[in-house]
Amino acid sequence: MIYYAKDNRFGMIVFDLICANDHVFEAWFASGATFNKQAKAGKVMCPDCGSVKVHKAPMAPAIAGAHAEQRAENAREATHMRSLLVKLRREVERNGDYVGAEFAERARRIHYGETEKRSIYGESTVDEARALKEEGIPFATIPWIPNTDG
């Protein structure tokens, strides 16, 4: 059984991040300012250890005019990735039940056999996600790409 945590971010930028325990991971944000605000508030959590002390890893900037073919390929890959994330959202919505802010509580009930097993998705706070991880309750946070079909 897989549990899904809904994430309402879109128009994303991916940053490589490093936590205080030197775990490297990727995270998606609407902008650099969004990352800075969330990191300062302790809302960005390492998926390996739960540390909220994270910073951006060094990244190579894109230089205008350089490597046009590579930039075009990157754009095609980004378009393809967005398409896959939209399909993932549709699969989650088709196969899971939306439980909103009760995600952590409902996932816990399913995990401990207090209610029927089923796929769910919803929202959770960083603290709730950390607690679920510590309890060994499987879930995933996914970038929630808006459905453009209307």
**Residue ranges per structural domain of the chain:** 4-57+83-141
Tokens of 126: 């960083």
Band (28; pLDDT cuts 50, 70, 90): confident
Q: Phi, psi at residue 88, to the nearest 5°? A: -60, -45
Band (1; pLDDT cuts 50, 70, 90): very low
Which pLDDT belongs to residue 132? 94
What number is the average pLDDT over the span 82-87? 83
Which pLDDT belongs to residue 150? 46
Query: If you average pLDDT over each of 8-17, 72-81, 103-112, which comes out highest?
Result: 103-112
Comparing 6-10, 33-37, 73-77, 135-139, the range with the smallest average pLDDT is 6-10
Which pLDDT belongs to residue 99? 95
Whole-angstrom distance, CA of residue 76 vs CA of residue 73 = 5
What number is the average pLDDT over the span 120-139? 92
What number is the average pLDDT over the span 102-117? 95
Helix (H, G, I), strand (E, B) or coil at 106: helix
Which pLDDT belongs to residue 2? 37
Q: How close are the terminal C-alpha atoms of the chain, in Å?
A: 30
Percentage of the chain beyond pLDDT 70 is: 81
Which pLDDT belongs to residue 102? 95
